[in-house]
Amino acid sequence: MLIRCKHGSALFVLFTLACFSACHGRHSALTSAPVAIDDAEAYHHSLSPVTPLRLSKAEWGQLAAARPPCGGNEFLPYELIVSESGVVESACLLPYTGSCNFTDDPPDPPAVVASHLVEANNLAHEQRFIPFVINGHSARVLIHWELPIAPPERFGTSRSLPIPIDYDSVRMRLERLGCEGRCPGYSITILGNGTVTYEGHAYVKVSGIQQTQISKAAVIQLVERFREANFGSALPHYLGAYDGGATVLQLHVNGKSFQVIDESGLRVGIPTAILNLEQAVDETVQSRRWVWGE
């Protein structure tokens, strides 16, 4: 049994029972059993922007105080059943472990997290995926997915992007640095005329330099994403003790430069919209073809 309900708060018990009933009832109601997919493939198929469960400053402090001895608990683990069209059919909360390897009696989520489980379940159901193709056919799949838990967003000094934009001056750059594991390392540079330069460094399908072109409309849309995300007012660094690599996002426009270094991201309050700008750059130039060969 994947859901543990034998102790803990009444809210957690009711929530997990509801999840278990919905998940396993659907297993029996539908004829095609879902195919288990490994975590890496599930991650590559995700179409949804990052949608963390945001806590208040006080709640984040309570969560920090409730961390297990081995540290961590910045996510909630879920089992998702995803339909042939990439829509989440059901979401079941798995035993809560933080980063600890509990084998016999995993603890319930801290009370501050348990009070947000309805919101967390809604966020899990909102995830969307590229349909999984198995033996030439779209398939129902079972995946593991982690819902990030994050503190309030943090901004720095207010700085607005200039108006109007001189697109001859525009230069956007995304660089994903390596980590202690096999994180892809590459950079993407986009000029105001739509010229795109990709350079693969490590653990990517295509190494070296590749060039392509995107439309002026796509450039304008991406620059406006920077404006809507209030990129100019972000802190220059979101750093912390973390070995997952870092991402550097830059915008040069009208002679002004803006940069954000994202190392610990959500753990230290990077705004969701700015974090999703990283994904927007990748999606705009379709970098998956070079990074993952898709």
- Nearest 5°: the CA angle 5, 8, 13 is 40
Distances (CA, A) of 164 to 68, 167, 189, 229: 51, 9, 22, 17
Question: Which of these, 157, 182, 150, 179, lies nearest to 247 by C-alpha position?
Answer: 179
Do residues 260 and 180 both lie within one domain? yes
The H-or-E segment that residue 287 falls in is: none
Question: Please, which pLDDT band fits residue 98 given cuts at 50, 70 and 90?
Answer: low
Question: Please, which pLDDT band fits residue 141 given cuts at 50, 70 and 90?
Answer: very high
Q: Say if CB 246 and CB 32 are below 8 A apart.
A: no
Lowest mean pLDDT among 7-21, 48-62, 194-208: 7-21
Do residues 27 and 100 both lie within one domain? yes
CA-based max dimension of the chain: 63
The answer to whether residue 216 scores a pLDDT higher than 80 is yes
Q: Say if CB 99 and CB 52 are below 8 A apart.
A: no
Do residues 123 and 250 both lie within one domain? no
Question: Which of these, 91, 82, 88, 92, lies nearest to 32 by C-alpha position?
Answer: 82
Q: Quick one: average pLDDT of 167-186? A: 90
Q: Quick one: average pLDDT of 137-152? A: 93
Residue 156 domain-assigned (yes or no)? no
Question: Which residue, chain included where needed, has tokens 């990709």?
Answer: 198
The whole domain housing 27 covers 10-150
Question: Please, which pLDDT band fits residue 41 given cuts at 50, 70 and 90?
Answer: confident
Do residues 280 and 212 both lie within one domain? yes
The last residue of one of the domains, among 124, 150, 176, is 150
> 254 or 22, which is more confident?
254
The answer to whether residue 202 scores a pLDDT higher than 50 is yes
The last residue of one of the domains, among 120, 150, 180, is 150
3-state secondary structure of 208: strand
Do residues 144 and 263 both lie within one domain? no
Question: What is the percent of the chain where pLDDT is above 90?
Answer: 61
Residue 4 domain-assigned (yes or no)? no
Task: Specify whether the backbone of 249 is left (phi greater than 0), alpha (psi in -120 to 50) or beta.
Answer: beta
Residue 208 domain-assigned (yes or no)? yes
Overall domain count for the chain: 2
β-strands 237-238, 256-262: how paired? Answer: parallel
Dig out the tokens for 115 from the structure.
């009070």
Residue 157 domain-assigned (yes or no)? no
The answer to whether residue 12 scores a pLDDT higher than 70 is no
The answer to whether residue 260 scores a pLDDT higher than 80 is yes
Question: Please, which pLDDT band fits residue 124 given cuts at 50, 70 and 90?
Answer: very high
Question: Which residue, chain included where needed, has tokens 């750093």?
Answer: 239
Question: Which residue, chain included where needed, has tokens 């973390």?
Answer: 242
Residue 134 domain-assigned (yes or no)? yes
Per-residue model confidence as pLDDT tens digits over 69-90: 445 567 889 999 999 999 999 9
Q: Find the CATH number of the domain harbouring 255.
A: 3.30.1560.10
Do residues 236 and 109 both lie within one domain? no
Question: Please, which pLDDT band fits residue 14 given cuts at 50, 70 and 90?
Answer: very low
Question: Which of these, 222, 215, 226, 219, lies nearest to 162 by C-alpha position?
Answer: 226
Do residues 53 and 109 both lie within one domain? yes
Do residues 198 and 123 both lie within one domain? no
Do residues 106 and 213 both lie within one domain? no
Strands in the chain per DSSP E: 35-36, 53-54, 75-82, 88-93, 132-134, 137-139, 141-150, 171-176, 185-191, 195-202, 208-213, 237-238, 247-253, 256-262
The answer to whether residue 121 scores a pLDDT higher than 70 is yes
CA atoms of 135 and 111, how far apart (whole Å): 44
Do residues 177 and 102 both lie within one domain? no
| Residue 274 burial (CB count, 10 A) | 23
Do residues 133 and 175 both lie within one domain? no
Do residues 126 and 186 both lie within one domain? no
Q: Which amino acid is at 151?
A: P
The last residue of one of the domains, among 90, 123, 150, is 150
What is the pLDDT at residue 108? 63
Residue 52 domain-assigned (yes or no)? yes
Residue 160 domain-assigned (yes or no)? no
The answer to whether residue 207 scores a pLDDT higher than 50 is yes
Question: Please, which pLDDT band fits residue 233 given cuts at 50, 70 and 90?
Answer: very high
Residue 1 domain-assigned (yes or no)? no
Question: What is the percent of the chain where pLDDT is above 70?
Answer: 81
Question: Please, which pLDDT band fits residue 43 given cuts at 50, 70 and 90?
Answer: confident
